[in-house]
């Protein structure tokens, strides 16, 4: 029994003007063949798949295809899309015959001219292996599930958590579904319901018992506890994706019982629709948010700058929050990040202890942010390299390249050469800080940061600022999305088909 395993992972933000290229995938770490099995067995979905398959009594032979990861950013160029498909399909061509294919995907990778890269990939994989080989894929909770993705796969296994703390377990769930199909002879039938709604991420916290997302997660887990259901998922798509099939979706895969799958799917889709307004976040205007943070004398205040969230594919060099932080005399460090290879190069040239005087930030995206002149002391040069755990990751190596810390009073600007998780406590530790001892920490993340900080923060404030990943996205211009779509069309009616 031969099972092929591969990964294609990136979340695209079509508002980010910086295109995603092959270089970003190669920089993050492309792995091929056996390297995948050797190096990823403890990491994320692929690790969950590998460990589960290795525990099967049938001892299946695992065949590593290719791992293609890149950090969230702008749309992939056409050459990059072609290269990604080529890499996976050539690897699969070399691997066949196989008895099954397991792919770890994001589900919201868009390219210029191809809004549904995972759909194109899965369709090509299906053509290559034929109609009878089980094809099971995992997806991020923020995937944009298209009809094509559903039609060409046997089962889609979606993360159940946001913050995404179940990525490894999602790989294990996918392997368990495959086992039901391959070993137990289950006959997967998928019910799929697109819900014409797009939700801000801030309140989609499945770990918060007061949140509606928590209840949906419990419903999904209850469905999966039923042996007639192979898997159930709710993908509340990420909003910054101007594509024709944008929308949330429910998928329920049953063993042979189509009516049961459809009933469960329609029930959950209706419930999600009825609770759509529960997802609307309370955003605090920027100036007010920073003023409130300043008046919290003790403990850590986390400011979520979701509009510049690098986890949502924003460029990460917005200066809006930095500008406000610089107006105050903070009692302890105020930590904020910027992506700027030019600024790091300047800091390296001048050296630790020198003073740097120049505009910073606001160049990766010109529409929503502008450069801010600062005079700062260069206090540290370091490599932003660490192993990340928690939201999005289990044992995931991250490398944001040469980096620097600049200080203006107590405001410390952590500058990295490349984008990455600009909320991760591991990043601030690599920069020489104890993030939990700061007066204020700016997390460029809409929700995932809560997994790291919610237990320790005195207060969390979600800031309203301009950017490529805004929470009030319906106020921005979209050209390709289907209409009507909530919340753009606030008063629309809908029932499942």
CB of 125 to Zn ion, least distance (A): 23
Would you give the binding string for Zn ion spanning residues 141-170, x where CB under 5 A is met?
Answer: -x----------------------------
Show contacts with Zn ion in window 294-323 (CB under 5 A).
none
Cβ closer to Zn ion: 211 or 319? 211
Q: How far is CA 402 from CA 324, 340, 347, in A?
A: 26, 10, 10
Cβ closer to Zn ion: 239 or 333? 239
CB of 105 to Zn ion, least distance (A): 12
Q: Is 202 one of the binding residues for Zn ion (CB under 5 A)?
A: no
Q: How far is CA 473 from CA 55, 93, 238, 241, in A?
A: 45, 41, 11, 10
Q: Tokens 């949906």 sit at which residue?
A: 216
CB of 464 to Zn ion, least distance (A): 21
CB 205 within 8 A of CB 129: no
CB 180 within 8 A of CB 253: no
Which one, of 378, 392, 387, lies nearest residue 430 by Cα? 387
Tell me the β-bridge partners of 415: 338, 404
User: What token pair was written down for 33?
Assistant: 């063949």
Would you give the binding string for Zn ion spanning residues 388-427, x where CB under 5 A is met?
Answer: ----------------------------------------
Cβ closer to Zn ion: 239 or 362? 239
Would you give the binding string for Zn ion spanning residues 107-146, x where CB under 5 A is met?
Answer: ---------------------------------x-x----
Measured at the CA of 87, the angle between CA 81 and CA 92, to 5 degrees, comes to: 130
* Strand 355-360 relative to strand 229-235, pairing: unpaired
User: What token pair was written down for 241?
Assistant: 């994706």
Which one, of 401, 440, 448, lies nearest residue 424 by Cα? 448
User: At a CB cut-off of 8 Å and minimum separation 6, what does 440 contact?
Assistant: 290, 293, 294, 300, 301, 302, 303, 325, 330, 334, 335
| Distance between CA atoms of residues 464 and 284, nearest Å | 6
CB of 164 to Zn ion, least distance (A): 6
Cβ closer to Zn ion: 140 or 305? 140
Cβ closer to Zn ion: 286 or 393? 393
For Zn ion, how many residues bind (rule: CB under 5 A)?
A: 2
**Backbone region of residue 107 per phi and psi (left: phi > 0; alpha: psi in -120 to 50; beta: other values):** left
Which one, of 464, 466, 285, 446, lies nearest residue 368 by Cα? 466
CB of 381 to Zn ion, least distance (A): 32
CB of 312 to Zn ion, least distance (A): 8
Cβ closer to Zn ion: 100 or 393? 393
CB of 248 to Zn ion, least distance (A): 13
Cβ closer to Zn ion: 196 or 313? 313
The count of other CB atoms within 10 Å of the CB of residue 89 is 17
CB of 310 to Zn ion, least distance (A): 13
Cβ closer to Zn ion: 164 or 179? 164
Three-state secondary-structure class, residue 300: coil
Cβ closer to Zn ion: 73 or 300? 73
CB of 140 to Zn ion, least distance (A): 4
Cβ closer to Zn ion: 63 or 141? 141
* Strand 301-304 relative to strand 284-285, pairing: unpaired
Distance of CA 60 to the CA centre of its chain: 31
CB of 162 to Zn ion, least distance (A): 6
Q: In the complex, which residues of this chain contact Zn ion (CB under 5 A)? A: 140, 142
């Amino acid at each position: 029994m031969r099972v092929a395993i591969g990964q294609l992972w990136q979340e695209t933000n079509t508002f980010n003007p910086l295109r995603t290229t092959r270089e970003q995938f190669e920089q993050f770490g492309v792995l091929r063949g056996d390297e995948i099995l050797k190096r990823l067995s403890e990491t994320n979905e692929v690790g969950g798949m590998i460990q589960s398959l290795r525990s099967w009594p049938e001892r299946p032979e695992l065949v590593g295809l290719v791992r293609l990861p890149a950090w969230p950013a702008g749309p992939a160029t056409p050459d990059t899309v072609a290269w990604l498909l080529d890499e996976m399909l050539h690897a699969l061509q070399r691997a066949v015959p196989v008895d099954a294919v397991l792919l770890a995907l994001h589900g919201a990778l868009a390219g210029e001219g191809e809004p549904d890269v995972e759909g194109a990939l899965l369709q090509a994989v299906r053509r290559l292996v034929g109609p009878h080989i089980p094809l099971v894929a995992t997806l991020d909770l923020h995937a944009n599930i298209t009809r094509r993705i559903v039609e060409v796969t046997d089962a889609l296994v979606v993360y159940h958590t946001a913050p995404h703390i179940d990525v490894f377990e999602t790989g294990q769930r996918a392997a368990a579904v495959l086992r039901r199909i391959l070993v137990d002879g289950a006959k997967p039938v998928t019910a799929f319901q697109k819900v014409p709604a797009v939700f801000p991420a801030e309140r989609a916290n499945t770990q918060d018992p007061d949140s509606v997302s928590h209840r949906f997660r419990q419903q999904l887990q209850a469905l999966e506890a039923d042996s007639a259901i192979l898997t159930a998922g709710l993908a509340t798509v990420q909003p910054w994706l101007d594509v024709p099939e944008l929308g949330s979706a429910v998928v329920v895969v049953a063993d042979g019982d189509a009516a049961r799958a459809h009933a469960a799917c329609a029930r959950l889709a209706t419930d999600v629709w009825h609770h759509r307004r529960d997802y609307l976040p309370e955003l605090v205007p920027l100036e007010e948010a920073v003023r409130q943070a300043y008046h919290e004398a003790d403990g850590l205040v986390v400011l979520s700058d979701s509009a510049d969230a690098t986890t949502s594919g924003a460029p990460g060099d917005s200066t809006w929050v930095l500008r406000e932080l610089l107006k105050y005399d903070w009692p302890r460090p105020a930590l904020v990040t910027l992506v700027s290879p030019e600024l790091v190069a300047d800091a390296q040239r001048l050296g630790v202890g020198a003073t740097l005087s120049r505009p910073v930030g606001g160049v990766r995206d010109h529409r929503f942010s502008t450069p801010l002149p600062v005079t700062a002391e260069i206090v540290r040069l370091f490599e932003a390299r660490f192993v990340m755990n928690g939201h999005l990751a289990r044992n995931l190596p991250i490398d944001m390249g040469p980096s620097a810390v600049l200080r203006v009073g107590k405001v410390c600007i952590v500058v990295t050469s490349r984008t990455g998780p600009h909320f991760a406590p591991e990043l601030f530790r690599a920069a020489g800080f104890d993030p939990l001892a700061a007066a204020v920490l700016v997390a460029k993340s809409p929700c995932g940061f809560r997994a790291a900080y919610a237990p320790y923060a005195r207060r969390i404030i979600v800031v309203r600022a301009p950017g490529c990943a805004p929470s009030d996205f319906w106020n921005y211009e979209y050209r390709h999305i289907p209409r009507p779509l909530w919340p753009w069309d606030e008063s629309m009616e809908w029932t499942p088909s």
